[in-house]
Structure 1
Amino acid sequence: MNLDHKATSRLSIGTSISLTHSKTNRVEGDQSLHGPLPNGISTPAVFSVYNSDGTYNQSGPYSNAVSIINEAINQNFSNRALANAFLEYRILDGLTFSTKWGIDFLNFREHAYESTKTVQGARYNGLGFETYSNVSNLVSNNTLKYTFDIKASAIEVLAGYSFEKKQAVSSFIRAQDFADPSLQYINSASTIVSASSGASSSGIRSYFGRVNYNLKDRYLVTLSARLDGSSKFSEKNRNGFFPAVSAAWRISQEPFFNADKISELKIRGSFGLTGNDDIPSFLYASLYGNTTYAGLPAIYPSSIPNPDLKWETTAQSDLGIDVGLFDDRLVFGVDVYYKKTKDLLLDRPLPGSTGYSSITENIGEIENKGLEFSLNTENLKDRKLRWHTNLNFSLNRNKVLKLYNGQAIDDLGRGSNRIEEGQPIGIFYSYEWFGVDPSTGDVVYADKNFDGKITSDDRTKIGNPHPSFIYGMTNSFTYGNFDLSIFLQGVQGNDVFNGTRLFLESLQGGDNQLAVINERWKKPGDITRIPRATNDPVAAAQNKRVSSRFLEDGSYLRVKNVSLSYTLNRQKWMHDKINSLRFFVTGQNLLTFTNYSGLDPEVNYRGDDNAVVGTDFFTYPQARSFVFGINASF
């Protein structure tokens, strides 16, 4: 719901409110061996789904995938409220005060239960989980803006203050030994295995200012600066100062410019600093968790404090040109940029002997440089039929410039990603695969240090998860009241580590195997890429090393979105109180063209972790979906 009201000639107010309730039935997650997809793929086909008496067959090496789908419940319930309000008051001509407030509140509950018909549930006589969380995010933005003219110059000066406060409270409980499988809630269990609760909060406050200068709509300059203070850093490092400047010259507005077919010509440049504080709260302080010891409550240090954490800062320079031709029926833009990031925030893995898995640090410096190109064309501009095309292309090259302690960071993820000076961040770093020895049937790896042995010292860069370039194209058609949009998305030149193949071509562990293992080495002289089957654990482990054998080209072209809509003629079909009525159908992820052998080349088993990208480990493919809907305005 949106409500805007002009109370007086000087005062405007408004609000928007959105309420949503959702229920999601989920299955056990991917990227592990616990969900139905990895279990279904990994269980050999000789194990039937059901026993002769109709019960689930759990005699295979993995859980019965059908039993997980049918007998494991994972339901998510969420209630979300979004509310925004604004007030804008014109104090004097050209002087305006504006305040905007917003609240985002999320109530979340997860209910999970595995009956005794699953392997996990049978082990614990029924297993249940309950998770509750309440998350709120309050945002306030307050500005004072003054606009005025001096001869041919238009000037806008803005000053402001904003803050954001996030709070989260959560609780979790796990129970087992359920008396009745139809009673799946925690109070029906006789044993509480574990319970915990916690709270976190963070905040950021900002002072900012901006000056826009426009001379004759030809020369444009913007100066801005902001001072941000984040609660995620200790008091000595809390504040970050981030200035920026940009300028543009519209050559096409100059009196001397006389090119009829060029409707717009502008060159522009900018330089600025930005900050990043995307880490958990209070890592600068000593944090403690709760547990039990000898049946008694206890606490333990849950992380290593790092009071030296500071803002991650990026300095970026841009240079671009915009060109419009034929009354802007053809418009293109080219941008080149250079970004240098200092004090990169990242988790550094720690040896198990420390008692901790990692510590968050400002680990070093990286650079990103690249080019972006966009093209917009109006191909047809008929009264009934219109056709518009948007093309975009970008390439980026990144490199780790410096690691502050001088040591590379190894073994980040299942594909052995690595952070190393002079290399792109998150390169694949492991053993170089040279094929299968025709005489022995064992895998041959590159002996990089020529010592006659294959050890960790022989690891090397084997691939790059970052693409050479990415591109996209949208074609939009309008015919009468019909609209059709087709969006294609492409990625070229990146490597993907297929961790699924690592398991399904290893010829060990009782896993189901891909059909390609029928081409395995069987006798001396065989030429093949699949090593021998062996019950020698040393040889089997040697042949299963993470290596370039499992790297593949992750390039793809995907029909990402197709949308068809029809808008009713208002004068012919609609009541006076209805402004517009539109019916639409949208399809997502309809087709993918790729040479990648896995289920989906667009993968990253570690989510948003920029240091661990391009690994596929039993990852669910993106769903093909269809949405039917109606848009109405009154």
Structure 2
Amino acid sequence: MESGYRKYTADVASGTLRYKYELPFLKGLSLEGFASIIKTVNYNKAFNYIWEYFERNSDGEIVQKTSRTVEDIGLREDFSQSTRITLNTKLGYETVIDEVHRINAFVAYEQMEYKDNYFWAQRLGYDSAQIDQLFAGSTDRSNWNNNGSASESARQNYFGRASYDFDRKYLLGFNFRYDGSPIFPKETRWGFFPGVSAGWVLSNESFMPENIFSNLKIRGSWGQLGNDRVDPFQYVGAFGYSNGWVVNGNDVRGIAATTTPNPNITWEVSETTDIGLEVGLMDNRLTFEADVYHTKTSDILGRRQASIPGYTGLVLPDENIGEMESKGIEFQAGYKQNVGNLNINLSANYSYNENKIIYFDEVPQAELYQKLEGNPIGSELVYKAIGIYRTQADLDNNVSYPNASLGGLIFADLNDDGIIDGNDRYRFPASGFPTSQFGFTMGLDYKSFDLTMLVQGQDGAKWRLDNGFSTGANGNGLEYVALNSYNLDNTDAILPRIRPTGVAAENNDFWYRTATWVRFKSFELGYNFPQDVMTQIGMSGLRLYVSGENLFMIYNNLEKYGAGDPEFLQGKGASYPNLRTLGFGLNLTF
């Protein structure tokens, strides 16, 4: 009997109309823009039937079980559609004066409208897997369910840029954005975000020695950007249905305030300063770039947790109260070389980033080392593990938490009060985002053949090993955990006992691992048929190619745990991995 299925269908139709007009009364002045529309329709269908699986019972015998013993067999269909319309127009001007003054500027306007709607329907109680339609489900209306919603949004943006180049030596630039968002009230809806830049091309100076640098440039920039990606309309006091009302002795649904409005809510602002260096040698066959940057984000939207206690019962809106900073460095290097008919193009990049929270309205902590401020985003409160209780002596000679037992983790008494409790937790950087990312690209051309390859990797993201096991149809666990956990026959195990309870089960730093990996990300090998052959058959070009994505891991320090793709890891490897794909195709040009 079939176990069911899930089908996902997406239909997308899009179109763009572009225009450009050179204004005749001033050379270099032009008007251009576009209008685009994207229509998306999604239809999903999931039929959850039963399936058989096997597990061991308490006597160690392998027995057959049936899934879905609690929830009934069911069919669900989802439908959604959306429309996005974008209008853009730009007035640009560029000119060169006396061959040394180069001016380039534009101002532009863009608006976007977006609408969508969504609904789904479901029935339970199917007697057969043969008819997977809603009407074939239970006729009992208590087994029916449905829901739906709709939303709409719009944006208006004015933006522009002006740049000045004197004799290809001295560079100046200015840019701005004036963005309007319906997420904020009219008084604070618009945000102005400027930026400036400057550069000095030393390689074009007369005092620089010839034939050393083909490019040597120092550049710097400062700019602001706004962010409005928060829940919309928090400046409006909202009402909604609420249970818990009693009228004439009966429980009824009433209407109550669901939010506390904030009429002053406005944009988050990120301010970035960047200093860079560009170097080109051997007629730019060898290039190098380095950037150092610092970003300070202020007016971060967040909810107060300390200054307004939870017992007030208020559902608080976001306020512009948070502040954080990030800083990092980026490197890029490239090399180009022609050897006869072989063209070689190599490039590599590396980036390192770190961040910390400067201000957050957090609940006061018992110990200073528990504050979120000063720590990276994603830091968790965890116990510090210093070992495993392997013998009775370990239990006797350490400060222990209630019900500590053999096989459990030993936690450090960080505040030295002789008690293991919540005050001994500290802030641990547990973010799943990497601190370092790197990549290498190689491109080769030989006569009519071309080959490109990409290798990429990362370091610094944290992954939490899960030592739990669950039974039933959804049961799963890692083999590494099963073979390396503490038990009476393996008291020297690497891992503590499986799934402890109480304080022993609390989050702690023992389980976190730093993910470091390098992946052969992609390649494409192509062949272009000779032009004379194409001309004879009435074609401009024909290219055959074979390509691949996510081919294999070159290095993965988490491989021994068997938890799957390190780029999308979860504790027991339950996340869907990157798909390895191979493609074949051809490009025809007439």
Shared fold per TM-score greater than 0.5: yes
1:274 paired with 2:225, answer yes
Are the aligned partners of 2:467 and 2:481 in contact in 1 as well (CA < 8 Å)?
no
- Deviations 1:242-277 (CA, angstroms, capped at 9, x unpaired): 011111122222233332031111111111111111
Work out the number of aligned pairs and report it.
Answer: 540
Letter in 1 for 2:328: G
Match of 1:627 in 2: 583
**1: distance between equivalents of 2:421 and 2:579?**
41
- Deviations 1:503-555 (CA, angstroms, capped at 9, x unpaired): 1499xx98656354445444599433333479xxxx63443332222111201
Partner SS state of residue 494, structure 1: strand
Letter in 1 for 2:287: V
Match of 1:594 in 2: 556
Match of 2:351 in 1: 394
Match of 1:33 in 2: none
- Deviations 1:30-63 (CA, angstroms, capped at 9, x unpaired): xxxxxxxxxxxxxxxxxxxxxxxxx7xxxxxxxx
Match of 2:394 in 1: none
**Structure 1 position 438, deviation (Å):** 1.9
1:445 paired with 2:421, answer no
Cα pair distance change 1:216/1:76, threshold 3 Å:
same
Are the aligned partners of 1:349 and 1:409 in contact in 2 as well (CA < 8 Å)?
no
**2: distance between equivalents of 1:579 and 1:303?**
63
**Structure 1 position 220, deviation (Å):** 1.6
1:375 paired with 2:342, answer no
- Deviations 1:10-40 (CA, angstroms, capped at 9, x unpaired): xxxxxxxxxxxxxxxxxxxxxxxxxxxxxxx
Are the aligned partners of 1:463 and 1:551 in contact in 2 as well (CA < 8 Å)?
no
Is there any run of 5+ residues in structure 1 with no aligned partner, and where?
A: 1-54, 56-69, 411-417, 606-614
1:580 to 528, 541, 555: 541
Letter in 2 for 1:454: I
Letter in 2 for 1:455: D
**2: distance between equivalents of 1:388 and 1:561?**
16
Match of 1:60 in 2: none
Are the aligned partners of 1:202 and 1:281 in contact in 2 as well (CA < 8 Å)?
no
Cα pair distance change 1:194/1:282, threshold 3 Å:
farther
Match of 1:35 in 2: none
Match of 1:546 in 2: 507
Match of 2:147 in 1: 196
CA RMSD, 1 decimal? 3.4
Cα pair distance change 1:617/1:480, threshold 3 Å:
same
**2: distance between equivalents of 1:437 and 1:357?**
44
Give me the TM-score of the superposition, normalised by structure 2: 0.82
User: Which of structures 1 and 2 has the bigger CA Rg?
Assistant: 2
- Deviations 1:268-324 (CA, angstroms, capped at 9, x unpaired): 111111111123433433456679999998767666544443211101111111111
Cα pair distance change 1:459/1:422, threshold 3 Å:
same
Deviates more, 1:418-427 or 1:125-134: 418-427
**1: distance between equivalents of 2:377 and 2:28?**
49
1:163 paired with 2:111, answer yes
2:372 to 395, 417, 420: 420
Q: Percent identity?
A: 28
Are the aligned partners of 1:292 and 1:298 in contact in 2 as well (CA < 8 Å)?
yes
Is there any run of 5+ residues in structure 2 with no aligned partner, and where?
A: 53-65, 245-249, 392-405
1:251 paired with 2:198, answer no
1:456-495 matches, cutoff 5 A: 456-465=422-431, 466-495=433-462
Cα pair distance change 1:517/1:604, threshold 3 Å:
closer
**1: distance between equivalents of 2:546 and 2:521?**
14
Partner SS state of residue 566, structure 2: coil
Cα pair distance change 1:458/1:183, threshold 3 Å:
same
1:519-538 matches, cutoff 5 A: 519-522=484-487, 526-532=491-497
Are the aligned partners of 2:463 and 2:569 in contact in 1 as well (CA < 8 Å)?
no
**Structure 1 position 408, deviation (Å):** 7.4
Are the aligned partners of 2:4 and 2:50 in contact in 1 as well (CA < 8 Å)?
no
Letter in 1 for 2:323: E
Are the aligned partners of 2:113 and 2:152 in contact in 1 as well (CA < 8 Å)?
yes
1:206-355 matches, cutoff 5 A: 206-287=157-238, 305-345=261-301
Are the aligned partners of 2:521 and 2:550 in contact in 1 as well (CA < 8 Å)?
yes
**1: distance between equivalents of 2:251 and 2:532?**
76
**1: distance between equivalents of 2:234 and 2:549?**
40
Partner SS state of residue 574, structure 2: coil
**2: distance between equivalents of 1:338 and 1:511?**
44
Are the aligned partners of 2:468 and 2:498 in contact in 1 as well (CA < 8 Å)?
no
Give me the TM-score of the superposition, normalised by structure 1: 0.77
**2: distance between equivalents of 1:370 and 1:226?**
25
**Structure 1 position 556, deviation (Å):** 0.9
Partner SS state of residue 448, structure 1: coil
